[in-house]
């Protein structure tokens, strides 16, 4: 069993992931990379403590930054059934050529033997502590694929896939609703990658699906793969805040996990203040679209120049309000409230003020008006059924956010 893996960022060696003698997985940064002020940014936490080692919270578990690179839900189950990896590190190695952003992880030529400390035990949240509204990632298996005139192809080992394709899952019509939400977001001024609905019959290499001629998948172009051979690094906010995937949607999260939209706003204001208005537009859209799944893994930073963080394009936007089985509330609170109906202009102004990025009322109302006007202009052409369209319209009517 391979025990040492090399971690590269934009083609440069950053460190090693090592399976220690006690089974713990440790990330060891290379001193020359950690000390280089011109090195590409691996992640915000590594800028804060560049020489620190990171240890997984359990035997066989990766440190939080790296475990967030792994798929969750149905796709992870598929990979585990196919490859039978021994632990998280082995699974990361299987996927290491096509990870999010500019990271690659591959087996090292020479193994290292180390002893790792045992970190304080972290209790996994019980299954009934997970919000049903936030389990969507497990309902739609997703694949990194390459697009051609014939359709989309799952490449060997996922190399150079430039689109992410989500298959239908247990949630009815999720691809159509996501395409509708993303189209509305684009019309509302959010930066959104190219998206489309694709018949399953045009997908090559995926597991067999029932009724492939009559069902659709959702495809979105990868913003971290702008052209062949070029990768832009990214990290989601769970990685930024060092939160493990199972903690992202837990009702009983560990303390000090920054699980709020204020934490996001403060980070954007500090790292890339020129993107604060784009973040505010995203947040208002989350509220007005009835998105109950806007957690830290559904928002990212990216590094177009390799060093400086910017707010990444929007993805995983979904008007969950169309499904009555989901809780109609925010996943992350805004100044203590999860209720959509509690978010008004006054609360958003207070959020901006607490984030250190003051705004006037008029620009916020203008953003609201743009999003509402975009819905009015595109809603008739969206791939929504009458009941789905009516659910969104009723949600907009209830919202106190007005232009």
Task: Look at residue 132 in the predicted model and tell me its pLDDT.
Answer: 20
Contacts of 386 (CB under 8 A, 6+ apart): none
In a 13 Å sphere around the CA of 116, the CA atoms on its Cβ side amount to 28
Reported confidence tier of residue 397, pLDDT bands at 50, 70, 90 = very high
Task: Please list the residues that pair with 36 across neighbouring strands.
Answer: none
Tell me: the pLDDT tens digits for 98-146?
899 999 999 998 655 555 555 444 433 333 332 222 122 334 678 888 8
Query: What mean pLDDT is reported for the chain?
Result: 88
Instruction: Give the residue-averaged pLDDT of 256-271.
Output: 92
Share of the chain above pLDDT 70, in %: 87
pLDDT at 210: 65
**pLDDT over 60 at 306, yes or no:** yes
**Residue 202 in contact with residue 215, Cβ under 8 Å?**
no
161: left (phi over 0), alpha (psi -120 to 50) or beta: beta
The pLDDT of residue 356: 95
Q: Which two tokens stand for residue 173?
A: 């019509």
* pLDDT for position 178: 97
Give 307-356 pLDDT, tens digit per residue.
Answer: 999 999 999 999 999 999 988 999 999 999 999 999 999 999 999 999 99
pTM of the model: 0.89
Q: Is the pLDDT of residue 60 over 50?
A: yes
> Which of the two residues, 110 and 376, has the higher pLDDT score?
376
Q: Are 99 and 9 in contact (CB under 8 A)?
A: no
Q: What is the pLDDT of residue 288?
A: 98
More confident residue, 381 or 82: 381
Mean pLDDT of 172-199: 97
165 vs 257: which has the higher pLDDT: 165
CA distances, 334 to each of 110, 341, 396 (Å)? 49, 11, 18
Give the highest mean pLDDT range of 99-103, 247-251, 367-371. Answer: 367-371
* Residue whose C-alpha is closest to residue 320's, from 307, 310, 308, 329: 329
The tens digit of pLDDT for each residue in 194-213 reads: 999 999 989 988 777 666 55
What is the pLDDT at residue 139?
A: 44
For residues 130 and 253, what is the distance between their CA atoms, to the nearest angstrom?
10
Token pair, residue 88, equals: 């998280």
pLDDT tens-digit profile of 219-243? 999 999 998 889 999 999 999 999 9
Is residue 366's pLDDT more than 60? yes
Q: pLDDT tens digits for 285-297? A: 999 999 999 999 9
Distance CA 164, CA 142 (A): 7
Would you say residue 54 has pLDDT above 70?
Answer: yes
Of 65 and 146, the structure prediction assigns the larger pLDDT to 65
Confidence (pLDDT) at 215: 87
Q: What pairing do the DSSP bridges indicate for beta strands 163-166 and 4-9? A: unpaired
Average pLDDT for 298-309: 97
């Amino acid at each position: 069993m391979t025990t040492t893996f090399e971690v590269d960022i934009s083609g440069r060696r950053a460190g090693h992931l090592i399976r220690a003698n006690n089974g713990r997985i440790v990330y060891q940064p290379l001193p020359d990379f950690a000390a280089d002020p011109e090195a590409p940014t691996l992640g915000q936490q590594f800028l804060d403590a560049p020489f620190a080692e990171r240890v997984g919270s359990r035997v066989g578990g990766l440190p939080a930054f790296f475990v967030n690179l792994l798929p969750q839900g149905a796709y992870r189950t598929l990979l585990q059934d196919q490859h039978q990896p021994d632990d998280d590190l082995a699974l990361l190695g299987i996927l290491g050529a096509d990870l999010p952003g500019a990271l690659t992880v591959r087996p090292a030529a020479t193994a290292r033997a180390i002893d790792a400390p045992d970190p304080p035990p972290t209790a996994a949240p019980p299954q009934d502590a997970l919000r049903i509204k936030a389990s969507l990632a497990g309902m739609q298996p997703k694949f990194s694929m390459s697009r051609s005139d014939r359709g989309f192809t799952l490449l060997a080992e996922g190399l150079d896939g430039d689109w992410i394709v989500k298959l239908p899952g247990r949630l009815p019509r999720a691809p159509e609703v996501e395409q509708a939400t993303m189209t509305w977001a684009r019309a509302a001024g959010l930066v959104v990658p190219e998206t489309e609905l694709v018949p399953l019959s045009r997908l090559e290499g995926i597991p067999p699906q029932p009724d492939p001629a009559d069902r659709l998948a959702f495809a979105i172009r990868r913003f971290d793969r702008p052209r062949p051979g070029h990768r832009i690094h990214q990290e989601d906010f769970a990685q930024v805040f060092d939160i493990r995937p199972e903690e992202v949607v837990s009702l009983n999260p560990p303390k000090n996990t920054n699980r709020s939209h204020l934490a996001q706003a403060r980070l954007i204001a500090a790292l890339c203040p020129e993107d604060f208005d784009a973040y505010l537009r995203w947040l208002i859209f989350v509220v007005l679209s009835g998105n109950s799944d806007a957690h830290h893994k559904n928002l990212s930073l990216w590094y177009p120049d390799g060093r400086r963080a910017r707010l990444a394009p929007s993805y995983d936007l979904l008007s969950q309000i169309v499904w009555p089985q989901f809780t109609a509330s925010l996943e992350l609170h805004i100044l203590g409230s999860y209720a959509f109906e509690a978010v008004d202009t006054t609360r958003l102004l207070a959020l901006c003020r607490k984030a250190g990025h003051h705004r006037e009322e008029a620009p916020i109302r203008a953003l609201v008006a743009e999003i509402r006007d975009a819905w009015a202009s595109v809603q008739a052409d969206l791939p929504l059924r009458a009941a789905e369209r009516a659910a969104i319209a009723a949600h907009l009517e209830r919202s106190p956010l007005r232009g």
